Amino acid sequence: TFKSVLSVALSPDGKLLATGDLDGQIRLWQVADGKNLLTFKGHDGWVWTVAFSPSGQTLASGGHDTLVKLWDVQTGDCLKTLDKHIG
Protein backbone atom coordinates (compact mmCIF):
# COMPACT_ATOMS: atom_id res chain seq x y z
CA THR A 1 0.00 0.00 0.00
CA PHE A 2 2.81 2.41 0.82
CA LYS A 3 5.19 1.54 -2.04
CA SER A 4 4.05 4.40 -4.27
CA VAL A 5 3.76 7.07 -1.55
CA LEU A 6 5.54 10.35 -2.31
CA SER A 7 4.30 12.53 0.54
CA VAL A 8 3.02 12.16 4.09
CA ALA A 9 1.57 14.45 6.76
CA LEU A 10 0.45 13.86 10.32
CA SER A 11 -2.60 15.73 11.61
CA PRO A 12 -2.02 18.25 14.42
CA ASP A 13 -3.66 15.92 16.97
CA GLY A 14 -1.61 12.95 15.76
CA LYS A 15 -4.68 10.82 15.03
CA LEU A 16 -4.63 10.94 11.21
CA LEU A 17 -1.98 10.33 8.58
CA ALA A 18 -2.38 11.59 5.03
CA THR A 19 -0.43 10.10 2.12
CA GLY A 20 -0.11 11.23 -1.49
CA ASP A 21 0.96 8.77 -4.17
CA LEU A 22 2.14 8.26 -7.74
CA ASP A 23 -1.42 7.56 -8.95
CA GLY A 24 -2.83 10.95 -7.96
CA GLN A 25 -4.59 9.65 -4.88
CA ILE A 26 -4.56 10.99 -1.35
CA ARG A 27 -5.41 8.56 1.42
CA LEU A 28 -6.41 9.36 4.96
CA TRP A 29 -5.40 6.79 7.57
CA GLN A 30 -6.33 6.35 11.20
CA VAL A 31 -3.03 6.11 13.07
CA ALA A 32 -4.31 3.99 15.97
CA ASP A 33 -5.23 0.96 13.85
CA GLY A 34 -3.97 1.73 10.32
CA LYS A 35 -7.52 1.83 8.89
CA ASN A 36 -7.95 3.65 5.56
CA LEU A 37 -10.73 6.17 6.27
CA LEU A 38 -10.98 8.04 2.97
CA THR A 39 -9.41 8.13 -0.47
CA PHE A 40 -9.41 11.39 -2.40
CA LYS A 41 -8.92 11.28 -6.18
CA GLY A 42 -8.23 14.71 -7.51
CA HIS A 43 -4.87 14.83 -9.25
CA ASP A 44 -3.69 13.59 -12.62
CA GLY A 45 -0.36 12.07 -11.74
CA TRP A 46 1.93 12.41 -8.77
CA VAL A 47 0.89 14.04 -5.51
CA TRP A 48 4.04 15.87 -4.45
CA THR A 49 2.85 17.19 -1.11
CA VAL A 50 0.10 16.98 1.49
CA ALA A 51 -0.37 19.18 4.57
CA PHE A 52 -3.00 19.61 7.27
CA SER A 53 -4.35 22.98 8.34
CA PRO A 54 -3.59 23.94 11.96
CA SER A 55 -7.16 22.94 12.93
CA GLY A 56 -6.79 19.56 11.24
CA GLN A 57 -10.10 20.04 9.42
CA THR A 58 -8.63 20.80 5.99
CA LEU A 59 -6.01 18.95 3.98
CA ALA A 60 -4.06 20.60 1.16
CA SER A 61 -2.52 18.61 -1.68
CA GLY A 62 -0.20 19.69 -4.46
CA GLY A 63 0.29 17.66 -7.60
CA HIS A 64 2.39 17.34 -10.71
CA ASP A 65 -0.71 18.48 -12.61
CA THR A 66 -0.07 22.08 -11.36
CA LEU A 67 -3.10 21.96 -9.05
CA VAL A 68 -3.35 22.65 -5.34
CA LYS A 69 -6.51 21.26 -3.78
CA LEU A 70 -8.11 21.86 -0.41
CA TRP A 71 -10.08 18.94 1.04
CA ASP A 72 -12.59 18.58 3.86
CA VAL A 73 -11.08 15.91 6.13
CA GLN A 74 -14.47 14.77 7.46
CA THR A 75 -16.29 14.31 4.14
CA GLY A 76 -13.55 13.99 1.52
CA ASP A 77 -15.12 16.82 -0.50
CA CYS A 78 -12.86 19.09 -2.52
CA LEU A 79 -13.40 22.59 -1.11
CA LYS A 80 -11.27 24.55 -3.57
CA THR A 81 -8.91 24.03 -6.49
CA LEU A 82 -6.07 26.46 -7.13
CA ASP A 83 -4.52 26.06 -10.55
CA LYS A 84 -1.22 26.71 -12.25
CA HIS A 85 1.18 26.62 -9.34
CA ILE A 86 4.80 26.52 -10.43
CA GLY A 87 6.60 25.06 -7.47
Q: What is the pLDDT of residues 2-12, one digit of tens each?
A: 678 999 999 99
Which percentage of the chain shows pLDDT scores above 90?
A: 80
pLDDT digits (tens, 9 = 90+) for 45-64: 899 999 999 999 999 999 99
Angle at 40 (CA atoms; ends 34, 45), nearest 5 degrees: 110
**Amino acid at position 46, single letter:** W
- Residue 7 CB partners (closer than 8 Å, separation 6+): 19, 20, 47, 48, 49, 50
Answering whether pTM is above 0.85, one says yes
Q: What is the pLDDT of residue 26?
A: 95
**Torsion of Cα atoms, 71 then 67 then 9 then 48, to 10°:** 160
Residue 43: count other Cβ atoms within 10 Å of its Cβ: 23
